[in-house]
Chains A and B, each alone.
Chain A
Amino acid sequence: MTPSLLRYLIRHDTRYRYSQPVGESRQLVRLRPRELARQHCLAHNLETDPAPRRNEQYTDSFGNPVCSLHFEREHDMLFVRAESLVEITPPTPCALDASPSWEAVRDGLVYRAGHVLDAAGLEATGCLFESRHVRVKHDFAEYAHADFPAAMPLLVGVERLMQRIHREFIYAPEATDISTPVTEVLASRRGVCQDFAHLMLSCLRSLGLAARYVSGYILTHPPAGKERLIGADATHAWVSVFCPGQGWVDFDPTNAKMPATEHVTLGWGRDFADVSPLRGVILGSGKHEMEIAVTMAPETDSHIFLQKPL
Chain B
Amino acid sequence: MPAGILLDYPFRPSRYDEMFVARGEARAHWLAFAERLESISAESLLQREKLVRDAIEADGVSYNIYSDPQGSRRLWELDMLPLIIDDSEWRRLSAAVAQRARLLNAILADLYGPQHLLAEGLLPPALVFGQPGFRWPARGLHPPGNIWLFSYAVDLARAPNGHWWVIADRTQGPSGAGYALQNRIIVSNAFPVAFRELHVNRLANYFRSMQESLARCAPTSGDETPLTVLLTPGPYNETYFEHAFLARYLGFPLVEGQDLTVRDNTVFLKTLRGLRRVHAILRRLDDDYCDPLELRADSALGIPGLLGAVRAGRVLMANAIGSGVLESGAFFGFLPAICQRLLGEPLAMPSVASWWCGEKPALEYVLAHLDELVIKPAFPGMRMNAVFGHLLHGESRAKMIERILAQPHAYVAQEWVRLAQAPVWRHRRLLPRSVGIRVFSCVGGDGDYTVMPGALGRVAPRTGMEVISMQRGGLSKDTWIRAPNPVRASLLKRRLGVDDLVNNGADIPSRVGENLFWLGRYTERVELGARLLRAAISRIASSEDDAEQGLAGLLTALRRQGVLDDRPDARRERDEDDPARAGTDDDAAEETRLERQLAAALADATQPGSVAFNLRALALAAGQVRERLSTDNWHALHALEQLLTAPITGIDQALSTIDHIMQACITFAGFALDDMTRDAGWRFLILGRLIERMEGLAGLISVPAHAGAGEREQMLEWLLEAADAIVTYRARYRRMPELLPALHLVVFDPTNPHAIRFQVDMLYEYIGHAAHELGHPFPSQTIDLLARRLGDFDLGRFEEDDPGQALAALRALLADTAAAAQTLSDEVHRRYFIHTANPTLLQKVA
Contacts and interface: CB of A to CB of B under 8 A. Distances in A.
A278 interface: yes
Nearest to A70: B305
A28 interface: yes
Interface string A114-158: 111101001001111110000010100000000000000000000
A279 B837 contact: no
Contacts of A138: 406
Contact of A281 (B130, B293, B845): B293
B846 A122 contact: no
B840 A113 contact: no
A72 interface: yes
B346 interface: no
A67 to B, nearest CB: 12
Interface stretch (A33-41, A98-106, A217-225, A285-293): A285-293
A129 B130 contact: yes
A66 to B, nearest CB: 10
A24 B846 CA distance: 23
B202 to A, nearest CB: 44
A158 B837 CA distance: 49
Contact of B121 (A28, A113, A178, A285): A113
Contact of B311 (A16, A58, A177): A58
Contacts of B140: 61
Given A274-B136, A279-B293, A235 B846 contact: yes
Interface string B394-415: 0000000000001100000000
B264 interface: yes
A116 B119 contact: yes
A141 B754 CA distance: 75
A14 B842 CA distance: 12
Contact of B125 (A16, A24, A61, A125): A125
B844 interface: yes
Given A23-B837, A26-B293, A114 B121 contact: yes
A54 interface: yes
A192 interface: yes
B304 interface: yes
A292 B842 CA distance: 14
Contacts of A24: 261
Contact of B126 (A56, A111, A274): A111
A189 B138 CA distance: 36
B568 to A, nearest CB: 34
A285 B837 contact: yes
B322 to A, nearest CB: 11
Contacts of B358: 111
Contact of A125 (B129, B359, B840): B129
A128 B305 CA distance: 29
Interface centre among A119, A122, A269 (most CB of B within 10 A): A122
B432 interface: no
A278 B843 CA distance: 10
A281 B306 CA distance: 12
B112 to A, nearest CB: 9
B845 A278 contact: yes
Interface in B325-375: 358-360
B145 interface: no
Contacts of A240: none
B839 A290 contact: no
A125 B265 CA distance: 32
A281 B121 contact: no
Contact of B837 (A125, A270, A272, A283): A283
Nearest to B837: A283
Contact of B129 (A16, A28, A114, A128): A128
Interface string A50-78: 00001010101110000010101000000
Contacts of A192: 846
Contacts of A282: 839-840, 842
Interface in A159-206: 177-178, 192, 194
Interface centre among B129, B263, B359, B360 (most CB of A within 10 A): B129
B586 interface: no
B830 to A, nearest CB: 13
Interface centre among A277, A278, A280 (most CB of B within 10 A): A280
A72 B263 contact: yes
A157 B845 CA distance: 32
A213 B817 CA distance: 64
Interface string A248-286: 000000000000000000000110111011111111111
Nearest to B126: A111
B839 A177 contact: no
Contact of B120 (A54, A111, A116): A116
Contacts of B842: 16, 278-282, 288, 290
Contact of A194 (B124, B136, B137, B846): B846
A284 B304 CA distance: 13
Interface string B520-537: 000000000000000000
Nearest to B302: A281
Given A112-B359, A129-B126, A284 B844 contact: no
B841 interface: yes
B454 to A, nearest CB: 39
Nearest to A282: B840
A116 B118 CA distance: 8
Contacts of A70: 263, 305
A107 B379 CA distance: 23
Nearest to B834: A23
A279 B294 CA distance: 8
A284 B840 contact: yes
Contacts of A273: 297
Interface string B121-137: 10011100110100011
Given A115-B121, A125-B125, A128-B129, A178 B844 contact: yes
A283 B839 contact: yes
B44 to A, nearest CB: 59
Contacts of A114: 121
A116 B115 CA distance: 13
B123 to A, nearest CB: 9
A122 B118 contact: yes
A116 B124 CA distance: 10
A282 B293 CA distance: 10
A24 B842 CA distance: 12
Nearest to A289: B843
Given A61-B139, A117-B119, A122-B119, A26 B129 contact: no
A119 B305 contact: no
A277 B845 contact: yes
B379 to A, nearest CB: 10
B70 interface: no
B263 A28 contact: no
Interface string A1-45: 000000000000010100000011010100000000000000000
B699 interface: no
A54 B120 CA distance: 41
A24 B308 CA distance: 15
B485 interface: no
Contact of B843 (A61, A129, A270, A288): A288
B503 interface: no
B844 A113 contact: no
A112 B407 contact: no
B737 interface: no
Nearest to B356: A111
Contacts of A290: 842-843, 845
Given A111-B359, A278-B844, A281-B842, 6 more contacts: A61-B138, A127-B129, A130-B130, A277-B845, A281-B304, A285-B837
20 contacts: A113-B121, A114-B121, A122-B118, A125-B118, A126-B125, A127-B129, A128-B130, A129-B126, A136-B407, A178-B846, A194-B846, A270-B136, A277-B845, A279-B844, A281-B842, A283-B837, A285-B840, A288-B840, A288-B843, A290-B845
Interface of A: 14, 16, 23-24, 26, 28, 54, 56, 58, 60-62, 68, 70, 72, 111-117, 119, 122, 125-130, 136, 138, 177-178, 192, 194, 235, 269-270, 272-274, 276-286, 288, 290, 292
